[in-house]
Amino acid sequence: MVLLHLQLHLHLHLHSFKNVSMQVSPAPPKLKFSNSTTDLTPKNTTESVWLPRLTEKEFKLYSKESYDKKSYVAPQTEKCATTVKLLRPHKLSDDYLDEYLEEKSTENRTVDRDLNILMINSLIICHLNKSPKCVVPHFELVQETQWGLGWIWEMKCTKCKFISEKYKLFREINTGRPGRKSATINYGFQTGVINCNIGNDSARLLLTSSCIPPMSKGTMQRITNNVCDKVVKLAENETEQVVESFRKRNQTLGLNKNSPVKLQMDGTYQSVHIKSRHKMGQNASQVIGIACENETDNHAIIGFHLINKLCWVGAWLRGKGYDIECPNHEYCTSNTNRYDPLSEKDLGYEIESLLEMKLSQTALNQMQFFSNTYKYESVNRTICTYLPKNKNFSRNALGRASAAVLKVNNKRDVALAKTLKAVGCDLGRKSRAVVALKKYVNVKYMIVHIKKVYVSN
């Protein structure tokens, strides 16, 4: 055992004394060796060998860039038994990607079902009118135009010279304004994104992996902004309505319409650095104050306020040496000075002014001491779900928080249908999407289903 160990040691030692080097040549070799990468080991240990040109990935196995990035070094050559000569690798950036791609392609498109069928029928009639002699047409796509997730198709018949009109295969949002109209599918999709714990990049990945060409990043962001503006308004309207209904109730009961409503308040902190939502810390970057009414079992949210310290544009410009202060500069996403400590009291006063009601001292104290009830836990969970931590820099934080408020005050299905309607893409009562939405929400349905499966025997 000891002997073997010694021998092995000696062996390595011997080789390290050899003048072993590794050369990297920019020029192709005069003599071409076998292209097979299966047998790279030379027969004789002293033989100098040109390797076939490697891919970038394979090349990195043998050699890496020197510190000055001007040449290559081979860290392993001291231990090896041969002189290996390397050619520079292929400089194809999608070298690795291409390996996994196929010639044939799946091209999935999202088109409106009924508009698609309408197109087929229209094609047949138009073709018959224009080319009565072409009995059996053969249609092909001439051109397709992407409209986010919507598509416009133009068809031709390969057997005659027929070219169709352009068919819009998406429903448009009725803006009431002239000019380019948006596809409802795009607005619906972005509404979904802000209702999920994902951002636009993840959403694009979902589409890509379904072989559906995603819309461009810019288009996505623009639509998200529009959707968020509408969702914020909707949530504000809704919380105002809740307050209004309490005023009406007070009047009906013969009270002053502004007599106080019992409230519970809480703040949820978001921080890039700390995890606890209860520790204010100096790093807290966003805080959402929420006031729920404590008069009914609904515990509806009647007011909320988001303090956002984060401003990507501001941070970036400051990094570039510009003297810029948040908030209120162009494209600013923050609504507070970044040096202001986030205070629970301020949040309480903000909500107070929002509700146009005087909050009791108890309510303000609650803001400080975070009296947590079951309802709050669920509200906080919802808010956190809607505001993924790594998406904190987004200017859409308020939109996402508003979507969360709508979800808390309504059931998920109602909240989504309401939001989609406000955004301009109504769901059809009998659509399959709505059938799915009902099943998605209805836990009772699940229990009935489970019972069917397990209890029927």
Residues interacting with Zn ion, by CB under 5 A?
A: 131, 134, 137, 157, 159-160, 162, 311, 314, 326, 332, 334
- SS3 annotation, 210-244: CCCCCCCHHHHHHHHHHHHHHHHHHHHHHHHHHHH
Question: Sheet holding 83-87: strands in order across?
Answer: 22-25, 83-87, 48-50
In the complex, minimum distance from the CB of residue 94 to Zn ion, in angstroms, rounded to a whole number: 37
In the complex, minimum distance from the CB of residue 166 to Zn ion, in angstroms, rounded to a whole number: 18
CB-wise, 50 or 312, nearer to Zn ion?
312
In the complex, minimum distance from the CB of residue 336 to Zn ion, in angstroms, rounded to a whole number: 10
CB-wise, 162 or 246, nearer to Zn ion?
162
In the complex, minimum distance from the CB of residue 221 to Zn ion, in angstroms, rounded to a whole number: 17
Considering Cα of 428, then 429, then 434, then 437, what sign does the dihedral take?
Answer: positive
| Tokens representing residue 392 in the block | 């904190």
CB-wise, 234 or 311, nearer to Zn ion?
311
Is there a contact between 292 and 299 (Cβ–Cβ < 8 Å)? yes
In the complex, minimum distance from the CB of residue 395 to Zn ion, in angstroms, rounded to a whole number: 10
CB-wise, 164 or 380, nearer to Zn ion?
164
For 230-243, give one letter per residue: b (16+ CB within 10 A) or e. bbbebbeebbeebb
In the complex, minimum distance from the CB of residue 381 to Zn ion, in angstroms, rounded to a whole number: 29
| Tokens representing residue 178 in the block | 């002239």
Element of type H or E holding 41:
none
- Write down the H helix ranges in 35-137: 56-62, 95-99, 113-130
CA distance 148 to 26: 45
In the complex, minimum distance from the CB of residue 68 to Zn ion, in angstroms, rounded to a whole number: 40
| Tokens representing residue 352 in the block | 């107070």
CB-wise, 160 or 414, nearer to Zn ion?
160
Is there a contact between 215 and 149 (Cβ–Cβ < 8 Å)? yes
For 91-126, give one letter per residue: b (16+ CB within 10 A) or e. eeeeeeeeeeeeeeeeeeebbbeeeeeebeeebeeb
The size of the chain, in residues, is: 457
CB-wise, 99 or 140, nearer to Zn ion?
140
Is there a contact between 290 and 375 (Cβ–Cβ < 8 Å)? no
In the complex, minimum distance from the CB of residue 272 to Zn ion, in angstroms, rounded to a whole number: 16
CB-wise, 42 or 327, nearer to Zn ion?
327
Count of helices and strands (H, E) across the chain:
15, 11
CB-wise, 63 or 336, nearer to Zn ion?
336
CB-wise, 311 or 387, nearer to Zn ion?
311
In the complex, minimum distance from the CB of residue 323 to Zn ion, in angstroms, rounded to a whole number: 13
Could you tell me which residues are beta bridge partners of residue 146?
A: 151
